[in-house]
Amino acid sequence: MPKNILVAVAWPYANSLIHVGNITGAYLPADIYARYNRLIGNHVIMVSGSDAHGTPVAVRADALERTPLEVYEEYHLGFIELFQKLGLAYDLFTSTHTDNHFKVSQSIFLALLENKYLYTDRQEQWYMPSQKRFLPDRFIEGTCYICGYPNARGDQCDNCGNLLDASQLENPRSKIDGSTPELRETEHFYLDLGALQPAIVEFLKEREAYLRPNVLRQSLGQILAKGLHGRAITRDLDWGIPVPVEGWDGKCLYVWFEAVIGYLSAAIEWAKLEGQPHKWENWWTNPDSRAYYFIGKDNIPFHAVIWPGQLFGVGEWFGKIFNNKEGMKLMLPYDVPANEYMNMERQKISGSRNWAVWGLDFLSRYDPDPLRYYLTVNMPESKDTDWDWDDFVRRNNDELVATWGNLANRVLSFAYKHWDGHVPDPGELRAVDLEMLDRIESGFQTVGAQLEAVHLRAALADVMRLASEVNKYLDDNAPWFEIKSDKDQAAKTIYTALQAIDSLNVLFAPFLPFSSERLNFFLGHKKPLFGEQFVDSVTDSLGEHTVLRYKNSDANGSWEPGQLSAGQKLNTPSPLFKKLDPDKVEEERARLG
């Protein structure tokens, strides 16, 4: 029976552009995983949206003399444009600034309150006299009181990975203007992570066998070493979701507390847009579903510790508060395959120094599949990796173009020319042909197992290796010579190669959806492999927001060997990929910094 798979993708923060490190860190692996699951027949919803709230957006708006709403909307539309161009097929990419998300977040808050996992306390927080406002932890920089790293953010240390109590930071300074903040007292709601610790530890231990080492280290490892403590989940800020308790005007829910709730609220909004308002429950309250969270390593504690804590803490109260439903328990994450970082030409990617390759800018000069290819073979799954322009061009030319694109193009062109645009009739296949097809067929298991385990690099390397084997088969049988002496032999070879290419195209499809769709058409298939992305607009009490959606339409791709029949009409082929000029590399490097 098909499984229900929730592909939950990190929410980009609506105050900066998306670069290749963000894409390979979370968005692309999620899409590859979602496409694979659609091909094997699982019921997938892939959801995310723009993280609209919080002080960073408010601060940026001040600097630009615009409203936070205007700033968030501009970035949000840019994300949607990029995700369409890159083929990231979200079932719903929405935003946290929606009426639905406000309601769901406030219901989660009230359920936690009802279950006594929230308490209030007064704390000292950094106040900026120069800006007349409290600054959130991430806008304060100072020396980590755990490891001594001099440039720790107030909320988390990038060196030791620990979540920090910002008020204990040594030598604090504002990241906005470098001025020294002062501590002032303010009252907040706290999530009682200490009380939730046993449940969180149990959640992690149940998944210890397959969670990535970086995830375990930053969750279970940290908890066992230091224990969990209450964490403030409200802020003194008006750009955000109001605290749903009387007398708390001027404060809102902490952006991290509510943004993770987006995985749930986006599924609820998706169901509403589909016209089946209860459908989200198939993923969120169904024990046969599995939720995968695709994030970068900087977000591990929020997804592997705090979010499971929130979900456990609401117990069955969410349904009672949200829609008068009893006994509705929300599903905990199944896996959190967090990636490490990608560096840029051996330096850390830095937006402020323009040391980055920006998604939309890149796609104004290059096609999306070469980017998807390079970011997958170089994905930081177990350690940091490096974007290198020479390596990008080399892999495009030697692997994508030479090994795969040329294979498909020369076989198709040859068949097109010599068999009048049709798949040749091979008669009885030879042992060597059957052996070749068997080998490709076994790829559906081996590559599938790698994808299932979210080992995307290994999966793609396997597919490319199979493509090399078909090249070798062609060299060995040389249909270009066979055709001159014995057209029947050439027909067997070309038929076999076309079948192999048809299968390889499905194996490549989660990684290279654009070229796979074209090749699927060249091979004469009537229906596309995947559905279509489209942009929609939703009106609610907060106004109008733009969303990116996906419809299956007549998608017909399936994770099984191709079934081309002899005589099938082919369409005029053309090359799948472009060879890149190595001389362009210096031009590209000059754009950095």
Q: What is the DSSP letter of 163?
A: B
H/E run at residue 415: helix 406-418
- What's CA 455's distance to the chain center, in Å? 14
Contact 90/550 with Cβ under 8 angstroms? yes
Contact pattern from residue 355 through residue 384 relative to Zn ion, giving x for each residue in contact according to CB under 5 A and a dash for the rest: ------------------------------
Q: How far is the CB of 153 from Zn ion (least distance, A)?
A: 10
User: Between the CA atoms of 197, 199, 200 and 204, what dihedral angle is there, to the nearest 10 degrees?
Assistant: 130
Length of the chain: 593
> Nearer Cβ to Zn ion, position 67 or 159?
159
Q: How far, in Å, CA of 406 to CA of 396, rounded?
A: 12
Q: How far is the CB of 548 from Zn ion (least distance, A)?
A: 37
Q: How far is the CB of 145 from Zn ion (least distance, A)?
A: 8
Helix axes 456-477 and 368-377, enclosed angle (nearest 10): 110
> Nearer Cβ to Zn ion, position 146 or 195?
146
Phi and psi at 252, nearest 5°, equal -135, 170
The alpha carbons of the chain give a radius of gyration, in whole angstroms, of 26
159 near Zn ion (CB under 5 A): yes
Whose structure tokens read 């949607």? 80
> Nearer Cβ to Zn ion, position 144 or 356?
144
Q: How far is the CB of 109 from Zn ion (least distance, A)?
A: 30
Whose structure tokens read 């097929």? 89
> Nearer Cβ to Zn ion, position 159 or 197?
159
In three state form, how does the secondary structure of 203-245 look?
A: HHHHCCCCCCHHHHHHHHHHHHHHCCCCEECEEECCCCCECCC
Q: How far is the CB of 231 from Zn ion (least distance, A)?
A: 17
> Nearer Cβ to Zn ion, position 26 or 144?
144
In sequence order, the 6+-apart residues with CB closer than 8 A to the CB of 167 are 123, 124, 125, 126, 183
> Nearer Cβ to Zn ion, position 170 or 390?
170
Q: How far is the CB of 143 from Zn ion (least distance, A)?
A: 9
Contact pattern from residue 280 through residue 299 relative to Zn ion, giving x for each residue in contact according to CB under 5 A and a dash for the rest: --------------------
> Nearer Cβ to Zn ion, position 157 or 215?
157
Ranges within 139-158 binding Zn ion (CB under 5 A):
144, 146-147, 149, 157
> Nearer Cβ to Zn ion, position 300 or 463?
300
User: Between the CA atoms of 365, 36, 80 and 554, what dihedral angle is there, to the nearest 10 degrees?
Assistant: 100
Contact 345/592 with Cβ under 8 angstroms? yes
Picking from 535, 466, 542, the residue whose alpha carbon sits closest to that of residue 501 is 466
Picking from 329, 336, 331, 268, the residue whose alpha carbon sits closest to that of residue 302 is 336
Q: How many residues bind Zn ion (CB under 5 A)?
A: 7
Q: How far is the CB of 144 from Zn ion (least distance, A)?
A: 3
Q: How far is the CB of 164 from Zn ion (least distance, A)?
A: 7
Helix axes 28-39 and 456-477, enclosed angle (nearest 10): 60
Q: How far is the CB of 224 from Zn ion (least distance, A)?
A: 18
Q: How far, in Å, CA of 445 to CA of 302, rounded?
A: 34
Q: How far is the CB of 155 from Zn ion (least distance, A)?
A: 12
Q: How far is the CB of 470 from Zn ion (least distance, A)?
A: 51
> Nearer Cβ to Zn ion, position 158 or 588?
158
> Nearer Cβ to Zn ion, position 162 or 378?
162
> Nearer Cβ to Zn ion, position 146 or 458?
146
Q: How far is the CB of 156 from Zn ion (least distance, A)?
A: 9
**What's the distance, Cα to Cα, between the start and end of the chain in Å?**
52
> Nearer Cβ to Zn ion, position 160 or 585?
160
Which residue pairs, CB below 8 angstroms and at least 24 apart, start in 581-584? 581/393, 582/390, 582/393, 582/394, 582/397, 584/393
Reduced to 3 states (helix: H, G, I; strand: E, B; else coil), residue 267 is helix
Q: How far, in Å, CA of 590 to CA of 452, rounded?
A: 40
Q: How far, in Å, CA of 30 to CA of 379, rounded?
A: 12
> Nearer Cβ to Zn ion, position 63 or 147?
147
Ranges within 160-179 binding Zn ion (CB under 5 A):
160
Ranges within 115-144 binding Zn ion (CB under 5 A):
144
Picking from 262, 253, 267, 265, the residue whose alpha carbon sits closest to that of residue 110 is 253
Q: How far is the CB of 126 from Zn ion (least distance, A)?
A: 18
Query: Which residues of the chain form contacts with Zn ion (CB under 5 A)?
Result: 144, 146-147, 149, 157, 159-160
